[in-house]
Amino acid sequence: GYYLKPLQASLIRAGIQPKGWAFDAMLAGYVLQSGRSSYPLPDLVQDYLGERLPTEDTTGESGLAAYTCAEAAACLRLEQVMSQQVAAMSCADVLYRIEVPLSEVLARMELAGVAVDVAYLHQLSDVLEALLRAKESEVYTLAGEPFNIASPKQLGQILFEKLKLPVGKKTRTGAYSTDAEVLEQLAAEYPICRSILEYRELSKLKSTYADVLPRLVHPSTGRIHTSFNQTVAATGRLSSSEPNLQNIPIRSEAGRQIRRAFVAAPGNRLLSADYSQIELRLLAHVSGDERLLQAFADDRDIHAATAMLLFGVPEEGVTPELRRKAKTVNFAVLYGMSDYGLSLELGMSVGEAHAFIENYFRQLPGVRRYLEETLAFARQHGYVTTLYGRRRYLPEIHHANRNVRQAAERAAINSPLQGTAADIIKLAMIDLDRRLRQEGYRARMVLQVHDELVLDAPAEEVPALAELARECMSGVARLRVPLKVDVEVGDNWAEMEKFMG
């Protein structure tokens, strides 16, 4: 078949649970070349069969029948060719044990949807509107005139020409940058910058979330049914759209008010299970670095443990500031840090950042070895892989332009880690979905947010479900480090409490 998920959803909605889905050409296309922007069937037919699918003429009934038959025939032949190639690049497990079975799980999740409190969102929208108007007046007063705050061009003119604030960085096109980093720098001395930041936050919350989410509530289910896209992210992650439920605010207090709108069905509770530090645990596993492995074996606070190593202080000497620096370095490693990037982040010179990184590698030599081996592999083969064999091609690893080449090098470091984490949670979703159905749970998996699964569950199922989710998620891979899973339970997605057990 081709793009089976909608078909699977239709069948499931009709109460039919077909088994033995064998092949999906769209998913095969994704596994073979995850960097493509999309996988239209005519393109796959052209690229893998060297043929042209007849042009779509579905005006009449006979035209529709003929085109549908041509599609079906093409899929059968695509399976022969693509399956061979998938096997030849050792991606059979990724396609047949991960992506194909996951498709049906995603269909079930999309059908289940998630409940939102619409009345609450309307109320919140009105509050945001009032706060926004007040903040707008505040900005106009500080600027000495009204203007469109949402226009970066007008805002740049007001701040850097009229008010003569010191110019920070410029954008790629040479305009004054007014992004949060620039405004944050200026905010201590110029209150208007703080006001603009607050205006931006409120504006984002209202226009992207409070005003849009209620419109996407399905009239018959009363729930929001996102799309989980399986072929978008080059690393193997899922994405979510219409609406994106993978970027619901959590960090700011105002943002968390949006999250409160995501609720359990009546009589139910929301259960969230998330992997703790999965990417750093994977770094420990694939690098085999002794100290990193030991830190996770001891279930240490990894950023604090890193701070002890980097700064040579005892546990009680780890100040919040040192821990924050160590945390930044840990993330920088996952993203394939350059000393330049780290220097910007930590506000130090490139030389200091370089010394920082050298110190990190001296303390964690296994990590350096892994990063060097991964880069060498990418340069030699032109791709990198996850633990389960998922491949990402990096043609720009030999690019003549240094910036382009270095971006590819960072992707070479990051993709195996981000992609392996994606493989693992996908496997866990398949397993958990099977267990939920086999064991007759009424709970439904409703969201996946990269390292987190959210279930909408009858209150009485919560204790057993917490155990089941933990078991599925941490048991799905046997690594040199434990996969720690934290479980939280609550009536809404903002107010969750740790679940012990």
Partner DNA sequence: GCATGATGC
Partner DNA sequence: AGCATCATGC
Q: Indicate the DSSP class of residue 146.
A: -
* Token duo for residue 146: 């009204």
212 binds DNA (CB under 7 A): yes
Strands 496-498 and 485-490: what pairing? antiparallel
Residue 475: enclosing H or E segment and its boundaries?
A: helix 462-475
- Find out whether 350 and 343 touch, Cβ atoms under 8 Å: yes
Of 114 and 411, the one with the shorter C-beta distance to DNA is: 411
Cα–Cα distance measured from residue 327 to residue 304, given in angstroms and rounded to the nearest whole number: 8
248 binds DNA (CB under 7 A): yes
Q: For residue 253, give every residue at least 6 positions away whose Cβ sits within 8 Å of its Cβ, in sequence order, or none.
A: none
- Find out whether 117 and 257 touch, Cβ atoms under 8 Å: no
First to last CA, the chain: 43
Of 45 and 413, the one with the shorter C-beta distance to DNA is: 413
Cα–Cα distance measured from residue 425 to residue 203, given in angstroms and rounded to the nearest whole number: 33
Cα–Cα distance measured from residue 65 to residue 56, given in angstroms and rounded to the nearest whole number: 11
Binding residue (CB under 7 A) for DNA from 69, 72, 297, 344: 344
CB of 68 to DNA, least distance (A): 28
Q: 């982040």: which residue's tokens? A: 345
Binding residue (CB under 7 A) for DNA from 285, 450, 466, 494: 450
Binding residue (CB under 7 A) for DNA from 64, 88, 180, 355: 180
Of 33 and 246, the one with the shorter C-beta distance to DNA is: 246
CB of 275 to DNA, least distance (A): 8
Of 153 and 437, the one with the shorter C-beta distance to DNA is: 153
* Token duo for residue 17: 């649970």
Pick the closest to residue 75 from 5, 12, 4, 10 (CA basis). Answer: 4
Q: Using CB under 7 A, which of the segments 1-9, 13-21, 294-302, 340-348 binds DNA?
A: 340-348
Cα–Cα distance measured from residue 135 to residue 131, given in angstroms and rounded to the nearest whole number: 6
* Token duo for residue 230: 């399986």
Binding residue (CB under 7 A) for DNA from 217, 309, 407, 477: 407
CB of 387 to DNA, least distance (A): 17
Of 64 and 180, the one with the shorter C-beta distance to DNA is: 180
208 binds DNA (CB under 7 A): yes
Q: Using CB under 7 A, which of the segments 55-63, 247-255, 382-390, 476-484 binds DNA?
A: 247-255
243 binds DNA (CB under 7 A): yes
Sign of CA dihedral 335, 338, 341, 345: positive
367 binds DNA (CB under 7 A): no
Of 315 and 358, the one with the shorter C-beta distance to DNA is: 358
x/- binding map, residues 139-178, to DNA, per CB under 7 A?
A: ---------x-xxxxx----------------xxx-x-xx
Q: Using CB under 7 A, which of the segments 40-48, 49-57, 88-96, 245-253 binds DNA?
A: 245-253
Cα–Cα distance measured from residue 21 to residue 479, given in angstroms and rounded to the nearest whole number: 29
251 binds DNA (CB under 7 A): yes
CB of 372 to DNA, least distance (A): 18
492 binds DNA (CB under 7 A): no
38 binds DNA (CB under 7 A): no
136 binds DNA (CB under 7 A): no
Q: Tell me which amino acid residue 19 is.
A: K
CA angle 91, 95, 101 (to 5 degrees): 150
- Find out whether 107 and 34 touch, Cβ atoms under 8 Å: no
Residue 44: enclosing H or E segment and its boundaries?
A: helix 41-44
402 binds DNA (CB under 7 A): no
443 binds DNA (CB under 7 A): no
Cα–Cα distance measured from residue 88 to residue 192, given in angstroms and rounded to the nearest whole number: 60
Pick the closest to residue 32 from 76, 86, 104 (CA basis). Answer: 86
Binding residue (CB under 7 A) for DNA from 108, 200, 225, 368: 200
Give contact residues for DNA (rule: CB under 7 A).
148, 150-154, 171-173, 175, 177-180, 183, 197, 200-201, 203-204, 207-208, 212, 229, 232-235, 237, 239-244, 246-252, 255, 328, 331-332, 335-338, 340-342, 344-345, 407, 410-411, 414-415, 418, 449-452
